[in-house]
Structure 1
Amino acid sequence: MGKLTTHVLDTMNGVPGESIQIDLYRIDGDSQTKIKTVTTNFDGRTDAPVLEGEEFVIGKYQLVFYVADYYKNKDVDLGEVPFLDDVVIRFGLGEKDAHYHVPLLVSPYSFSTYRGS
């Protein structure tokens, strides 16, 4: 069975992104269905895969990382309106037995992602 994992690295401070809320949605055409909410641990990872087993279905998905809340909790001055508030990553899961890893490298003004291993 396939699985989906993620982790967050805070590139501003050079540390794992701890206690970041992440929402997972399944995308069907113009509609979105929220599947679950998870929070990163001390290592910037979730304690369990975001999707696995029978929950893992081929299709289009979206992860929403609440990074402005994270930086506000770290007392970073983001101004009245943060440049990055929620980071949204849309991606496809196309192989039912594959491991998909979606890391997020983030600062208050930039982010990067890729398909990890």
Structure 2
Amino acid sequence: MKIIQCISDIEYLKSENKLPKPLINEIEQDLLAIYEAEPDDVYLLNFRLPLVQALFIFEAGDNVLAILNDPFTREYVEEITVDDVKYYRCGLRKGLSMQLYYSLKNIHNEETEEWLSEQVVWNEGISDL
């Protein structure tokens, strides 16, 4: 699992060339949105999210269910497609903060992929209320 807490982490992801650019761009936009919402005037290069607000990227082999399977902290699981890249974005509540988790679709075992798909369908039903 990769942890993103600052813009330097995003630049490192770009240099690695292991993740699709559309996914990295989406993560960068989420980080910048959090940065812009901060009340303090902190220079972007000095801005660092505390771990409780960090952005996480699941990799193949990570135990996704161990982290996301608590219904009391899981806020949502959504499937997003950007430029033919499909990924999941999941929100977990941590006190007053939200942690965002990202995962490319179809990189996990069958059980995990099925669970993620079920959560997406369940969350879509919630929005119908």
Q: Same fold (TM over 0.5)?
A: no
Q: Provide the TM-score with structure 1 as the length reference.
A: 0.29
The higher relative CO (CA closer than 8 Å, separation ≥ 6) is in 1
Bigger strand share: 1
